[in-house]
């Protein structure tokens, strides 16, 4: 019944926006932070917390240690899009979905074919020199033996992602707000909706139906027209089947 209701909502909607988190990519083999095998449950070789290591201040002070941890725990270059990513790309191609707003930094929505992706926390695919701002691909980070240095000016290269202690990209956040304001169906998936300010984007929704697809309860469940607890890759694949 839940799948039937979701399929009906998708068919009737004119402007769908998807807002997702780490749970969207677990089906691609990328663990979320707090799930089984995530950064908060795995043993750490140092006494420092993930929040401390993955912070802008730590990157500036201890770039070698930052990159050793970052490359081991945050980069999954062999990960492939799963059914959720592909279903969302399909909905966009059909003219149903206007944008994907993601808290993930893995670039899998783009790999699946989605074009209008707003990555509010940035992307590991994009990197830049901290001095001259020359841009570098993910391969440049992966191939560096230690701290990647700019081939133009010799200064450190950093990932274009929002690290702990850093603010979100104001332009991306504003774009996300506008997309959600204009949506008549907002599908939220794979996120606990407890990480702010990103979770606060839901306050911008004024549309007809809010759908939440998440394994565990969220603070926004009372406002949802439909709640589904099944794996998001299965839910979206089934909902867009034969469309």
Q: Which residues are CB-neighbours of 224 under 8 A, at least 6 positions away?
A: 210, 211, 212
Q: How far apart are the C-alpha atoms of 110 and 86, rounded to whole Å?
A: 10
Residue 145, in any domain of the structure: no
Active site amino acids: 121
**Would you say residue 33 has pLDDT above 80?**
no
Q: Which residues are CB-neighbours of 172 under 8 A, at least 6 positions away?
A: 118, 119, 120
Residue 54, in any domain of the structure: no
CA angle 51, 34, 161 (to 5 degrees): 45
- What is the structure's pLDDT at 47? 76
Residue 185, in any domain of the structure: yes
Q: Which of 241, 168, 202, 194 is nearest to 18 (CA)?
A: 202
Residue 66, in any domain of the structure: no
- What is the structure's pLDDT at 3? 62
Residue 206, in any domain of the structure: yes
Tens of pLDDT along 228-241?
999 999 999 999 98
- Give the Å distances, CA to CA, from 196 to 1, 137, 138, 206, 210: 32, 28, 27, 20, 19
Q: In what order do the strands lie in the sheet with 122-129?
A: 135-136, 122-129, 157-161
Across the chain, mean pLDDT equals 92
Residue 6, in any domain of the structure: yes
Q: Give the torsion through C-alpha atoms of 81, 87, 92, 98, to 10 deg.
A: -90
Q: CATH number, domain at 181?
A: 3.40.50.1220
- Judged on CB neighbours under 10 Å (0-12, 13-18, 19+), 111 is middle
- What is the structure's pLDDT at 154? 96
What region does 190 belong to: left with phi over 0, alpha with psi -120 to 50, or beta? left
Tens of pLDDT along 160-204?
999 999 998 899 999 999 999 999 999 999 999 988 888 899 999
Number of folded domains in the chain? 1
Question: What domain range is 187 assigned to?
Answer: 2-29+81-121+168-239
- Judged on CB neighbours under 10 Å (0-12, 13-18, 19+), 78 is exposed
Structure tokens at 73: 């725990």
Tens of pLDDT along 89-124?
999 999 999 999 999 999 999 999 999 999 999 999
Q: How far apart are the C-alpha atoms of 112 and 121, rounded to whole Å?
A: 19
Residue 233, in any domain of the structure: yes
Residue 196, in any domain of the structure: yes
């Amino acid at each position: 019944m839940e799948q039937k209701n979701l399929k009906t909502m998708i068919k009737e909607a004119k402007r769908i926006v998807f807002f997702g988190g780490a749970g969207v990519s677990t089906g691609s083999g990328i663990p979320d932070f707090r799930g089984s095998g995530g950064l908060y449950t795995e043993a750490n070789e140092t006494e420092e917390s993930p929040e401390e290591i993955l912070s802008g201040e730590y990157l500036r002070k201890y770039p070698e240690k930052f990159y050793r941890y970052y490359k081991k725990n945050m980069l999954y270059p062999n990960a492939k899009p799963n059914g959720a990513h592909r279903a969302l790309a399909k909905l966009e191609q059909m003219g149903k979905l206007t944008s994907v707003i993601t808290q993930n930094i893995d670039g899998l929505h783009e790999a699946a074919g989605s074009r209008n992706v707003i990555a509010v926390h940035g992307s590991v695919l994009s990197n830049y020199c901290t001095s001259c701002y020359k841009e570098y691909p993910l391969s440049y980070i992966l191939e560096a033996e230690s701290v990647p240095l700019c081939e133009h000016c010799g200064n450190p290269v950093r990932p274009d992602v929002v690290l702990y202690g850093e603010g979100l990209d104001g332009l991306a956040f504003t774009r996300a707000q506008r997309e959600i304001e204009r949506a008549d169906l907002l599908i939220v998936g794979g996120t606990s909706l407890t990480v702010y300010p990103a979770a606060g984007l839901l306050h911008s929704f004024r549309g007809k139906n809010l759908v939440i697809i998440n394994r565990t309860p969220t603070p926004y469940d009372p406002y949802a027209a439909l709640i589904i607890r099944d794996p998001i890759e299965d839910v979206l694949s089934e909902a867009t089947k034969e469309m």
